């Protein structure tokens, strides 16, 4: 079967499973199998695939039909200026979170040799993106998940930042190491009872540990704020991602 026919067939299957962007997803998944970019699948639509590659493609389509996010299937996600390895143990990096990078750089682009703490580091994408921009700075990432720390350590090695980044398995309440110029965090901030209303890609596949902010959605954020009082240097800054409707409560 040709590349074009495979994409058409997969697209129909994804449509029947109510997957958004079915054509794009089909092209991306086939690109992974062929180890090529999307342009290749478009320009070589008449090329025939061998049976092994067809089977591998259908396997990936089957995972997507169940709602598994493309990023988990590909095991990678672009964030800021880099591509990060991810798996089911970490939250998928989102464009909104790049605002944290932008705000830090507005404040500190001319500063050197700062120490940055990332609370709930996940894949390490926030901290490592900052260290890539702030060449003389050092960073520490903590997360309660051992599996997340494995991912962030891996990403730091791939980006050749492991000499400026350290990662530890730790709850924020128990972390007492060092004083920091900047603390960044994208803590879980979704109310527990709202989790069931999230898109199925999110609620069925992304780690609830990285989503559930407790009854009012503020449980983890308040912990981060309180701990920052102890961990920030004088004139240090805490930069948080919060829910769209949480501003006034957070300011209190």
Q: State the residue for tokens 């501003």.
A: 247
Query: What pLDDT shows up at residue 109?
Result: 76
Instruction: Please give the angle made by the CA atoms of 134, 98 and 182, to the nearest 5 degrees.
Output: 45
Instruction: Identify which of 75, 141, 120 has the alpha carbon closest to the alpha carbon of residue 220.
Output: 120
Q: How confident is the model at residue 96 (pLDDT cuts 50, 70, 90)?
A: very high
Q: Does the pLDDT of residue 110 top 80, yes or no?
A: no
Q: What is the pLDDT of residues 29-88, one digit of tens each?
A: 999 999 999 999 999 999 999 999 999 999 999 999 999 999 999 999 999 999 999 999
Q: What is the pLDDT of residues 15-41, one digit of tens each?
A: 999 999 999 999 999 999 999 999 999
Q: How confident is the model at residue 191 (pLDDT cuts 50, 70, 90)?
A: very high
Query: What pLDDT shows up at residue 206?
Result: 97
Instruction: Identify which of 209, 17, 34, 7 has the alpha carbon closest to the alpha carbon of residue 122.
Output: 209
> What average pLDDT score do residues 90-94 get?
97
Measured in whole angstroms, the distance separating CA 60 from the mean position of its chain's CA atoms is 21
64/61 Cα distance (integer angstroms): 5
Measured in whole angstroms, the distance separating CA 47 from the mean position of its chain's CA atoms is 34
């Amino acid at each position: 079967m040709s590349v074009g026919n495979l994409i058409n067939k997969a697209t129909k299957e994804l449509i029947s499973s109510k997957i958004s962007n079915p054509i794009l997803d089909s092209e991306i998944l086939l690109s992974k199998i062929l180890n090529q970019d999307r342009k290749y699948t478009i320009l070589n639509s008449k090329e025939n695939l061998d049976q092994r590659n067809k089977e591998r493609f259908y396997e990936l389509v089957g995972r997507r039909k169940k709602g598994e996010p493309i990023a988990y299937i590909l095991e990678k996600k672009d964030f800021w200026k880099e591509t990060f390895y991810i798996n089911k143990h970490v939250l998928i990096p989102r464009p909104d979170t790049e605002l944290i990078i932008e705000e830090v750089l507005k404040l500190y682009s001319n500063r050197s040799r700062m120490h940055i703490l990332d609370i709930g580091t996940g894949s390490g994408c926030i901290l490592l993106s900052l260290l890539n921009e702030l060449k003389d700075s050092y960073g520490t990432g903590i997360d309660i998940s051992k599996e997340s720390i494995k991912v962030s350590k891996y990403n730091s090695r791939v980006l050749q930042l492991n000499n400026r980044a350290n990662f530890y398995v730790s709850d924020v309440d128990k972390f007492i190491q060092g004083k920091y110029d900047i603390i960044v965090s994208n803590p879980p901030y979704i109310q527990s009872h709202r989790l069931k209303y999230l898109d199925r890609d999110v609620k069925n596949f992304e780690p609830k540990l990285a989503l559930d902010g407790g009854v009012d959605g503020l449980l983890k954020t308040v912990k981060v704020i309180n701990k920052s009082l102890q961990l920030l240097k004088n004139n240090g800054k805490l930069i948080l991602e919060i829910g769209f409707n949480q501003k006034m409560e957070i300011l209190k």
